[in-house]
Amino acid sequence: MPEQRMLVNGKLVDAEGGRVFDNVNPATEEVIGVTADGSRADMERAVAAARAAFDTSDWARDHAGRKKALLQLQAAIEAEVEELRAELVAEVGCPVITTYGPQLDAPLKEALRWPADQIEQFPWSRALGEKDAFGMGYPSAREVWKEPVGVVGVVTPWNFPFEIALNKLGPILAMGNTCVLKPAPDTPWNTTRLGRLIAEHTDIPPGVVNIVPSSDHLVGEVLSTSPLVDMIAFTGSTVTGRRIMAAAAATVKPTFLELGGKSVNLVLDDADFAQAIPSAAMVCMHAGQGCAMPTRLLVPNSRYDEAIELARAAFEGVKYGDPTDPSVLQGPQVSKRQQERVLGYIETGRAEGARVVLGGGVPKDLDRGYFVEPTLFADVTPGMTIAQEEIFGPVLVVIGFEDDDDAVRIANDSVYGLSGVITSSDLDRAKSVARRIRTGTVGLNGGLWYGADAPFGGYKQSGIGRQCGIEGLEIFTETKTVGWPA
């Protein structure tokens, strides 16, 4: 059964006034149930609970207790993993095949376990050595202590909601913080389920994790403005990220932002095109709703037509439709609004002179669900809107380049800097190009960088800070330097 209730101060509760909002299956357009519709007052109660839990419990210093609690949550999720899988497919519209990878199984394997294991190894203090800094005639011993930041406000999006929630909760809790998590209104149940599992199956103290869904995006703004919240950890669009930063400025809150992307799939002229180009159709996976997807295919002008034909064949082979069908790669966009947004970008592409090679509309064979055809654009120039803005749909734009320098220039001609893919028959050449691309992650020759131990985040307007890895633990800590007479 889906969990409709919020988690506030250790209790599963309804929203103020019993208000609820609909959860819609984007593949069928059916309302599949409701969720508690948290108000500002509900959010403020949750913030107060997180503050009290941080200030009055020993959670921040109980390393063994935190490890135990994270592993209890891990076991509780594993016990319900098949229900969770079906729920994700229903509310996110993600193809079930994606749940065996990044949507569920991949993060579940390590997003809690890895940070739990790091608690013991983390360098909570480091000695600086003795120093008589001001010539006082006696040296001081000095140490640097790492401590939790305090109360973290967490805001997550709808595209990989469980993956992102888990990769935030793991490090936040491992480092000894408390938090209030607001899931995206399109996909609340996987996160409210986490709330129930925390309440019923773990020793996580009341108030350490609070979960407040809401249909009103601005209820999340309480987290940015409240003086009781010490930090914001946000994943979502760059537009919202800017707004959160501005709102958090009043209380000088650190903002950890994982934002949008417009990453390249850069195929160098020596690459095996028959192998490299077809994989470009993976931008259709989960209807293109992934921040790190390489949605700009850069190919040498000398082999442009060959690349387009290979890409066309791959796009023709993309199976879209019912996300519960295990052979489907592409499900619906998450909402009518997102479907319209993607179709709007396709129209803009046409209007600016790009050529639709394939797709470009709503599939005629599907009479319900927010689907968009796999869409391939050729004759795209770097300045076009579809080459610059994040479409978040099953849309690939193909841009030609002259040589490696030109390819690097085009790749970096973006306000974003999240990820990228480079293919060459010469790994050293691929690496040297990778060093010149200003993004937070790069996959070379089909290699993957993903993992709970792998820092993920963006350069430029793709964000601030890194999720996962040692950097993703450190970001949830404060630094205290202490000294005493040696």
Q: Which is nearer to ligand NAD, 114 or 160 (CB)?
A: 160
End-to-end CA distance of the chain: 60
- Among 196, 243, 262, 286, the residue binding ligand NAD under the rule CB under 6 A is 243
Distance between CA atoms of 404 and 483, rounded to whole angstroms? Answer: 52
The two tokens of residue 60 are: 């921040």
* Catalytic member of 87, 258, 373, 390: 258
Task: Give 333's contacts (C-beta < 8 A, 6+ positions apart).
Answer: 26, 93, 287, 289, 339, 342, 370, 371, 372, 392, 393
Please say if 78 is a catalytic residue. no
**Sign of the dihedral through C-alpha 338, 340, 341, 347:** positive
Report in angstroms how near the CB of residue 352 gets to ligand NAD at its nearest: 21
- Among 3, 42, 110, 221, the residue binding ligand NAD under the rule CB under 6 A is 221
Q: Which is nearer to ligand NAD, 33 or 157 (CB)?
A: 157
Length of the chain: 486
Q: Which is nearer to ligand NAD, 284 or 307 (CB)?
A: 284
| Dihedrals phi, psi of 485, to nearest 5 degrees | -55, 130
Residues 374 to 433 in contact with ligand NAD, rule: CB under 6 A: 390, 392, 418
Residues 284 to 303 in contact with ligand NAD, rule: CB under 6 A: 291
Q: Which residues pair with 152 in a beta bridge?
A: 179, 231
Report in angstroms how near the CB of residue 1 gets to ligand NAD at its nearest: 23
> x/- site string to ligand NAD, residues 151 to 190, per CB under 6 A?
----xxxxxx---------------------x-xx-----
Q: 3-state DSSP helix/strand/coil percent for the chain, to nearest 5? A: 40, 20, 40
- Among 178, 190, 192, 240, the residue binding ligand NAD under the rule CB under 6 A is 240
Report in angstroms how near the CB of residue 405 gets to ligand NAD at its nearest: 28
Strand ordering across the sheet containing 395-401: 355-358, 375-378, 395-401, 296-300, 264-267, 420-423, 443-444
Asked if 331 interacts with ligand NAD (CB under 6 A), we say no
Report in angstroms how near the CB of residue 481 gets to ligand NAD at its nearest: 31
CA distance readout (Å), 107 to 4, 208, 281, 289: 23, 22, 23, 17
Asked if 469 interacts with ligand NAD (CB under 6 A), we say no
Q: Which is nearer to ligand NAD, 183 or 205 (CB)?
A: 183
- Among 57, 140, 237, 251, the residue binding ligand NAD under the rule CB under 6 A is 237
Report in angstroms how near the CB of residue 259 gets to ligand NAD at its nearest: 5
The catalytic site residues sit at: 258
